[in-house]
Structure 1
Amino acid sequence: MNRLTRLIAVALLALILAGCGVRGAYNNLDWLMMRWINGQVSLSSEQELAVRTALDDKLQWHCSTQLPMYVAFLRAVESDVQGDNIDLDQLRSHGEQLAAFGRALAERARPDVIDFLAGLSDDQVNGLRESFAERNEEIIAESIEVSEGERQANQVSAMERGMRRFAGRPSAVQRERLERWAAELQPTAELSLTQRLAWQDSFFDALEIRSDNGAFSARMADLLEPGATWSDEFRHRMEYNRERTLEAIVDIHQLSSPRQINRLRSRLDSLASDFQRLSCS
C-alpha cells in the first residue's frame, strides 16, 4: 500500500484509462490531489504550502516531459487498432509502457513523499492509522465479504464500463467472453489484504524512526518500491490473472464490430489530442 508515492501516478494514468473529462480533470489535478491528501491527514498551513509547491513542481515536470510521451503512446495504440495488430505480445508491450509511465511518476514523487512523512507529528501519524484502518474495513466489505458469484459479477461490470467508454456496449458474445474471463481468474483479495496489512505494519514501524533522516529515508525507499514486499504466491496469481486478462482483451477485440473499432479509434484520437493540447513542452 504505497498510496502516497503512487497518488500522482494513479491519478494521471487513470485519466488515460477512464477516458472522460481529461482536460478538466488534469487542469484541476492539484486541487484533486490536495483534497485526497487532506482526507488522509490534517495538514498545518506550512505543510500544505510545502505539498502544494511540490505538486506544482511535479505537474510542471509532467506536462512538459510526460504528456508528449502519452500522446505518442496513444497514437501507437491507435495505429495498432487500425492495422488490426492487437495480439498478446503487443498488449504486453503496451502494458510495460504504461507501467514505465507509472514508475517514472512514482520515482519523481518519492523524495518529496519521504520528506513529507518525516515531518509528520505524532497526532498526524495517528490520523494516518485511522485513515488506513477505515479503508481496510471498506476493502474487507467490498472484496472479502462477498461471494464468488458477486466477485465475478463485479469484475465483469468493471470491464464492461471500460468497454462502454472506449468502444460502446459489448455484444452478447463479448459479454460471454468476459464472464469466462472472470471465472478463470484466481482469487487475490485475501492475499492482497494480507500484503496490505503487513506493509502497513512495516510502514508505521518505519515512521517510529522518522527523526533519524538517513535510516528513515532508506527504509521508506524500500517500502515505497512497488511490489517489493509481494509474496511469491501473490505475485504468481497477479501474473496469472494479467495473462488471462490480456487473452480476454485480444479475444474481445477480435469479436468487435466495425462500429466498435471506429469508436475505439476515435476515442484514442480524442485522448491523444487532449493530452497534446495540455502539454506544456
Structure 2
Amino acid sequence: MSGRTDPFRYLLLAVAIGLLAACSRLDLAYRNLDLVIPWWISNYLTLDDSQQAWMTPRLEKHLAWHCSTQLPEYVAWLEQLDQLSQRPQLTVTDLQGQFAQVRESVNNIAVQVTPTVLGLAKGLSPKQMGELYVAMDERNAELREEHVAPSLKDQVTARSLRMRERVEEWMGPLRASQQARIDTWARRQGDYNRIWAENRESWQKELRNALYGRHASNFPARLTALLQEPDDFWTPDYRKAHPAAETSLAQLLADLFNSADERQRNALREYIGGMISDLKGLECYPR
C-alpha cells in the first residue's frame, strides 16, 4: 500500500526513508529535502509567516541531524543487504531482520521531530485545524477510491503490478515464474487494503481527538504516544493482519531472491552499490 504519510506522524523526515526505496536520483532528492518538506506540509495546511520563521531553523537542525547520524545507519543497512545478496539463499528470518531495522529508523525520526511537531501543533489556529482536517479527509477519500473502492480482483491486479515495478527496479526484468509468484502473493493479501485504510483513519481520529485538546496538560503525552508508539493505536483487524502480511512479504522477497539468476543478482548488487555511493557522495555525509 502506498500513500503520503499522515502530516503529524514522522512530520519532517519520513521522506528520507522513502528515498531509499524509490528514488533513482537519491542524491539529488536528498539535497532538496529543505524544499520538498515545506511543500509536502503545505498540502495539508498553510503556515503563516511567523510559523514558517519558527519552522525553518528547526527543519535545518533536523536535516543536519538526519544526515550526520541516520545516513551512516542507512549505509550500514545497505551494506548488510549487499552481504545478504552474496548468499546463495535467503530465509524469511533474514528479511524480517531488515524490516526491523527500517522500523527502528522510522522510530528514530519520530523521536527526533516530536518536539517540533508538538510546538507546531500547539500554535495551530482554528482555521488551520479545519484546513488540516479537510486535507486529511480528501486524501483518505483519494486513497479509498484508488485502493478500496475497486473490486477485489482489480485490487489484486494493481497490488501485483506495484510489487513487480518495485522489484524490477532493484533486480531488473522478472521471469514469468517470478511474476506468477508475485501474483500469488497479491491474491493472498485479500482484503488488506480495506484493513489498512481503516487503521489509517482510526489513527487520524485519535490525532483529531488529541488536537482538540492541544492546550490541555496531557496533550504532549498524547501526541508523543501517537507519533512514537503508533502500533498502540492499531485497530484489532490491523493488529491481526499486519504480522501475517509482513511475514508474507518476507517470504515473497526471499523466494524471488532465491529464484534469481545471475543477471538479476548482479543487477541487485549494482543497485545497492549505487545507493551506497549516492549516500556517501552527499556533501553533508560525515567523513
Correspondence 1:1-281 to 2 at 5 A: 2-212=6-216, 214-224=217-227, 225-278=229-282, 279-281=284-286
Q: Tell me how far apart the structure 2 counterparts of residues 26 and 191 of structure 1 sit (CA, whole Å).
A: 32
CA distance in 1: counterparts of 2:264 and 2:198, whole angstroms: 40
Superimposed CA distance per residue, residues 119-166 of structure 1 (whole angstroms, 9 cap, x where no aligned partner)? 000000000011011011102201221111111111111111112211
Distance verdict in 2 for CA 1:161–1:167, change over 3 Å: same
Q: Which stretch shows the higher mean deviation, 174-183 or 221-230?
A: 221-230
Deviation of the 1:171 alpha carbon: 0.8
User: CA-to-partner distance for each residue in 1:14-55, whole Å, 9 max, x for gaps?
Assistant: 111114110010000111110011111011011112222211
The change in CA–CA distance for 1:19 and 1:255 in structure 2 (over 3 A counts) is farther
Q: In structure 1, what residue type is equivalent to 2:234?
A: W
Length-normalised TM-score, structure 2: 0.93
> How far apart, in 2, do the equivalents of 1:16 and 1:198 lie?
28
Shift of 1:254: 1.4
Distance of 1:78 and 1:208 partners within structure 2: 47
Q: Is the 8 A contact 1:19 1:271 kept in 2?
A: no
Report the residue type matching 2:38 in the other structure: M
Extract unaligned runs of 5+ from structure 1.
none
Question: What is the CA-CA distance between 1:82 and the residue it aligns to?
Answer: 1.5
**How far has the Cα of 1:192 moved from its partner?**
2.8
Give the whole-Å Cα distance in 1 for the aligned partners of 2:198 and 2:185: 25
How far does the alpha carbon of each residue in 1:213-252 deviate from its partner, in whole angstroms, 9 at most, with x for none?
Answer: x321112112222222112321121111111111111111
Alpha-carbon separation, structure 1, partners of 2:168 and 2:14: 21
SS across alignment from 1:210: coil
Partners of 1:34 and 1:52 within 8 A in 2: no
**Kept in 1: contact 2:7–2:41 (CA 8 A):** no
Distance 2:112 2:252 in 1: 33
Call closer, same or farther: CA 1:229–1:272 in 2, change over 3 Å: same
Partner amino acid, structure 2, of 1:258: E
Q: Structure 1 length normalisation: TM-score?
A: 0.95
Q: Does structure 1 retain, via aligned residues, the 8 Å contact 2:9–2:226? A: no
SS in 1 for 2:34: helix
Structure 2 unmatched runs, 5+: none
Q: Name the SS for the 1:164 alignment partner.
A: helix
Aligned residues of 1:186 and 1:237 also touching (Cα < 8 A): no
3-state SS of the aligned residue for 2:9? helix
Equivalent residue of 2:231, what SS? coil
- Aligned residues: percent identity? 26
> Closer, same or farther in 2 for the Cα pair 1:85/1:51, shift >3 Å?
farther
